[in-house]
């Protein structure tokens, strides 16, 4: 398997497409639609109120907040806040540990069957 491309700058949609294309040894034009379709599917699921879980990466949680009274910080007057939908992202323990270690070659691929037992 090819070594993953090391990320050396902020990852935008454009640079993400370029990195994935380099990792797959293909052109950015061939990867673009797949990347955009992936994020579109995540967005549609969140808008519909569904959670999205990507193993070894993280989970997007969609939830609804209740209506409440807030306060205007400038004058202290109450401001009604209507109920609304929100989303939150929780990083997986696998990815969080890789970030703490500074592992620049981290992958979210699952380990092969028996890999944990063999490593003991």
More confident residue, 74 or 119: 74
pLDDT in tens, 18-37: 999 999 999 999 999 999 99
pLDDT in tens, 58-98: 999 999 999 999 999 999 999 999 999 999 999 999 999 99
Query: Alpha-carbon distance 113 to 93, whole Å?
Result: 20
More confident residue, 40 or 108: 40
Q: Provide the whole-model pTM.
A: 0.74
């Amino acid at each position: 398997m090819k070594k993953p491309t090391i990320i050396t700058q902020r990852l935008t949609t454009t640079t993400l497409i370029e990195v994935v294309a380099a990792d797959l040894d293909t052109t950015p034009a061939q990867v673009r639609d797949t990347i955009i379709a992936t994020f579109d599917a995540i967005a549609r699921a969140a808008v519909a109120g569904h959670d999205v879980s990507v193993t070894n990466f993280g989970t997007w949680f969609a939830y609804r907040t209740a209506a409440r009274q807030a306060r205007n910080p400038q004058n202290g007057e109450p401001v009604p806040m209507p109920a609304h939908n929100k989303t939150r992202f929780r990083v997986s323990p696998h990815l969080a540990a890789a970030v703490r270690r500074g592992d620049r070659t981290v992958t979210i691929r699952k380990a092969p069957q028996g890999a944990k037992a063999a490593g003991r």
